């Protein structure tokens, strides 16, 4: 049973560039949530996708956008990168929007220079 997978593992970008991160949910899961984890901090919720729509959003600017595909995989896009966007980006999947347990992927480490 495949767990949550994310790609790429690491990514280096420069300020002003755009980046796309990808996530495949755990088999059988249909809901994907994205989190940003700055170094030494707990993860912060970015947004959640269910049925190809953004269902919830955290306190992140519009530079952060996403998409969910019919196969439930998801992308996180960040435009106009800032140095402060450097972080570990975690994807979590669950079944439905009200199930209590999320399963996390290994994350993508984004470094903005």
Partner 1 sequence: AQTVTQSQPEMSVQEAETVTLSCTYDTSESDYYLFWYKQPPSRQMILVIRQEAYKQQNATENRFSVNFQKAAKSFSLKISDSQLGDAAMYFCAYRRTSYDKVIFGPGTSLSVIP
Backbone angles phi, psi at 83, to 5 degrees: -55, -35
Residue 101 makes contact with partner 1 by CB under 8 A:
yes
* Binding-site member from 24, 33, 36, 68 for partner 1 (CB under 8 A): 33
| 26's tokens | 């755990």
CB of 41 to partner 1, least distance (A): 6
Closer residue to partner 1 in complex, CB, 50/81 = 50
| 43's tokens | 């993860």
Residue 25 makes contact with partner 1 by CB under 8 A:
no
Residues in 3-22 at the binding interface with partner 1, rule: CB under 8 A: none
* Binding-site member from 24, 31, 68, 74 for partner 1 (CB under 8 A): 31
Total residues binding partner 1 (CB under 8 A): 29
| 110's tokens | 């984004």
CB of 20 to partner 1, least distance (A): 20
| 112's tokens | 């903005």
What residues are paired with 45 via a beta bridge?
A: 35
Query: Where are the strands (E) in 41-98, listed by range?
Result: 44-50, 53-57, 64-68, 74-78, 87-94
CA distances from 36 to 13, 24, 70, 76, 111 (A): 16, 17, 24, 11, 13
Residues near partner 1, by CB under 8 A: 31, 33, 35, 40-45, 48, 55-56, 58, 88, 90, 92, 94, 97-107, 109
């Amino acid at each position: 049973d495949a767990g949550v997978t994310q790609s790429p593992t690491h990514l280096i970008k420069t300020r002003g560039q755009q980046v796309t991160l990808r996530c495949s949910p755990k088999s059988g899961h249909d809901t994907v949530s994205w989190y940003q984890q700055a170094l030494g901090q707990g993860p912060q919720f970015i947004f959640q996708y269910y049925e190809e729509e953004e269902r919830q959003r955290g306190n992140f600017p519009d530079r952060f956008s996403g998409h969910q595909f019919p196969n439930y995989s998801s992308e996180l896009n960040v435009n106009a990168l800032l140095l402060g966007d450097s972080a570990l980006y975690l994807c979590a999947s669950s079944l439905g929007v009200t199930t209590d347990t999320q399963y996390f992927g290994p994350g993508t480490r984004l470094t903005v220079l």
